[in-house]
Structure 1
Amino acid sequence: MTTRPWPDTSPGLFGSVAERWRKRRERRYLAAADRRAASAAAEATAPAVPEPEHHRKEYQTALPSSMSFVDFQASFTVVWTLDGRADYRHAIPQSTAVNAIVQRAAAITRQANPVHHKPLREQLAFELGKRLQVENTNVWARAEDVHITVEEADLDLVRRHVELNRRRELRQAERELERAELRYLRDNVFNSVGNALLWWLHHNDNQIERIGEVAPQLTQLVRLVSGQEQVHWADNLLAALEEASPGGLGEAQRLGLAGYLGQVLGEYGGPGAKDEFETRAKDWGVGRGGPREGE
């Protein structure tokens, strides 16, 4: 039987110290394991870093512009490297790098006007200077010493083309303005005699005393603009005679009516009224020349 004053189930002084030391060591071990796991995860998710650049290729090529008949002349140095951590490999990495730079440059130049080649050079140098990984390859590429020019003869051609386009657009704008004015006159001025008179007064210092002088001319103009052709009074008279005879007029009836109307106009009509009527009546098949052939 033990002679200690505390129960056997209770730890002694040395037991308590050992237990605390064991727990502290366990916590340190777990913390170190967590740090190692976090470091491994960070390395696994970190982007692949290319090897130091050590491949260079000077290259010259034509690049498209916004005008199909003119190209830019470009030169640059392609700087490329291989990424040993990439999952993809390319058999000809140099061609891959050069092609990637050319495609990146063409995407920019095909939207540019050749006359703006100087600021375009700065834009190309900025964009191509970015080192980017070529899609689905282990190649990283960028460009330096970027230069771009346009042949002087091509620049002259472009300037002529721009000037022609400017003139064409100006003429088109003038035609549109003219058509708009004509539509306005047709739809809002010469659609009635009243509107035409108001328009004339507005543009002629409200000279009301001249209304009687210009009214017949404006009336005729309204008829022409609205598509109402002015019909000769003799034609109206002959048409009215035809309309008044639903069964139609025969040759003898036309001849008799024309002769009778000619006598009336000769007696009561104004100067030349009879001659005008007989001239128009020829198309009706009667008159001084008699019936038309074929009737």
Structure 2
Amino acid sequence: MTTARKTTTVFLTLLCGLLLTIAGLTNRWPTWTWPTLAVLLLVVPAAAFRIASLRRGSIPVSFEEQLTAPPVERTEHHVSHVALPSLWDDYRFVFSATVRWHLIKSPETMPVLNPAGLAVEAVLSRARSITEKREPTQASLIQHELSGALSRMSPEPTGHLQAMAENINLSLPQQDQERLERLAEVRKEGAVWEHQRKYEQSKRQYLGEDVLKDTGSAVVWWLAKNEEHVERTVADLPLLAQLTSAANDTDIPERLQNLLSEPPSESAMPENAEVEPEPKSQARTAEDHLSGFFDSMGFTEGDIRRGMLAKQISNIITKQNQHETAEGLLRRFDPPTASTQNDPEGPTSDDDATDETSTSART
């Protein structure tokens, strides 16, 4: 009788004794029945043990327990932080998983071996054949690929067992991961810079070899951009000729040099633009300088303050014996009108002009 059976027999004997005691107290059995029950509770278990020992024979109890006890066999093993190669040198994946196996042959016909070692070797070999062909930048994707490839029981090379893996985790060391992120950022910046460089090269080539190849090409390009302003294109011919010559590092053709000295034609000017006296030479005159000064002050054409200030300046330079320049300023900025010519009592002194300028400025 095994230990388990002995324990069960003792437990049932005690339970029967307890039930009989409760029944005797409840029914008020006679006193002579209690010794009888005690004898029965002792004799019955002893007889059961005797009969079991006779049936068992001379086999030791410990050996019988070994035969009847279910065999305990380990069928899984956990591996962690195993370095697997990648497609790039000096970059390694970190592999962790739970390896499971199933023996193909029965233990009686199998030689002495370590099934855990065979199963782990088979799983790592299958995982290595995949990772060594993958880039380290795809660790998360390769982890799912390994989960599918190692999820099936496959026989290992010796043929003693089949192995698989689950709970797979694949990653990169933290330093390698940060290094790859920096490299990726540099590649992205380099790609952007390369596109910008090619764009600038293409633009320079387009302007140098097509647009500014000669003055004619520049005029056609400018006219295409300002097709509704032909007069403006004609007025910009001198500028286009200079720009084309500068771009090709050549002199302006002789046939176009006369454009540099010609004033803009009246047709190229706006309809309401004021026609200024044509300068006698290309050099800027006092009238031109004073006009630029008024423009920078915000005194545009038609502003009465231009004439008032020009008259004051004319009076000042007249005292310096610059009569011709003073007259030119008056003709340019304060030409006499019919009402002024007929009114001999108009303001002539510097004080009057100053009063008028101050009044106009306050207004």
- TM-score normalized by structure 1? 0.45
Q: Which has the higher contact order (CA 8 A, sep 6+)?
A: 1
- TM-score normalized by structure 2? 0.38
